[in-house]
Amino acid sequence: MKNRFLSICLTGILVAATVAAPAEALNLGGATLNTGLRLRSGPGTDSEIITTGLQNEPVIVTSDTGTGWYEVIYNGIKGYMSSQYLKFSESLSAAFGKGTVQGSSVRLRSAPSTGAAVLGSFNTGASMDITGVSGNWYQVSYGGQTGYISADYMTVAGGGAAYARSLAADNGASAVIDTAESLLGTRYIYGGTTTNGFDCSGYIQYIFAQHDVTLDRTAAQQYTYNGTSVAKSDLQPGDLVFFSSSSQTVGHVGMYVGDGQFIHSSSGAGKVIITSLNSSYYVSHYVGAKRVL
């Protein structure tokens, strides 16, 4: 009798696990991007770039790696973003795209709690608009009704309003950045404007010329005549960033690439490199930014 009872219990556990297998890891909540920020395949700047998110876009935070990086879902794509440039919020209302139920008799509740009233139940394949996140719960809209479903039983796909805005606002920045990064390590030559060697403004002028954007020759001219001014807090990938030198109000230019970094042809390094905007020299010599895309 004892063995028969144990067998029944084990069978019941296996059936329950089969019926309601979690679809994703636990969520921590949501976040918005403080700046243009890259989604990477791993928790570090040496990991592959999947795509670039734009300032103020929302992400779902699925876990904290404990290394200064969050695992997130951006436009239905899972990857990693630096926590330094994310504004975390346990509860966040935003258009995250579509969600698909994964499980049998998954309950839609009136609030993000297992103790909240049940508004309905759904099976695998039911599609809903995700309109927010609250800890490990998604706020969803379905058939004119709004409620909450545990993130354990829903997968996320792209296509929300954030995705539409990101496509409209990118304006080819990703392609320009790809060109710029393909020239990393190219030597610095004063007055240089070719792949044999660049000075700072010659490098920027060359990059944009490859994408049919004409810029003036010097850093000072680019700052004065090209693009529209952008606040440092509103920087997006592809924006030009300008710095003063000991002899000029504007004597150096680079291009912002996200993650608080910019790419430039550096006379000090003797080549094209990527540098943090937060490094002491560039913080104290920062002049402004222009958007040319």
The torsion angles phi and psi of 134, rounded to 5 degrees, stand at: -140, 100
Sheet (strand 127-134) strand order? 118-122, 106-109, 145-150, 137-142, 127-134, 91-101, 154-157
Q: Answer yes or no: are the C-beta atoms of 124 and 21 closer than 8 Å.
A: no
Stated as kind and residue range, the H or E segment containing 89 is strand 86-89
**What angle is formed at CA 110 by the lines to CA 26 and CA 112, rounded to 5 degrees?**
25
Residue 252 annotated to the active site:
yes
Known catalytic membership, residue 264:
yes
Angle 200-209/173-182 helices, nearest 10 degrees? 130
In the structure encoding, which two tokens stand for residue 216, read together?
């003036």
Give the per-residue SS3 of 130-169: EEEEECCEEEEEECCEEEEEEHHHEEEECCCHHHHHHHHH
Instruction: To the nearest 10°, report the CA torsion of 88, 92, 97, 103.
Output: 100
Strand 252-258 relative to strand 240-243, pairing: antiparallel
Kindly report the backbone phi and psi dihedral angles of residue 289, in degrees, each rounded to the nearest multiple of 5, phi listed first: -140, 155
**HSE (side-chain half, CA atoms, 13 Å) at 144:** 0
The rounded distance, in Å, linking the Cα atoms of 35 and 31 is 12
211 is catalytic: no
d(CA 258, CA 96): 22
Residues labelled catalytic: 200, 252, 264
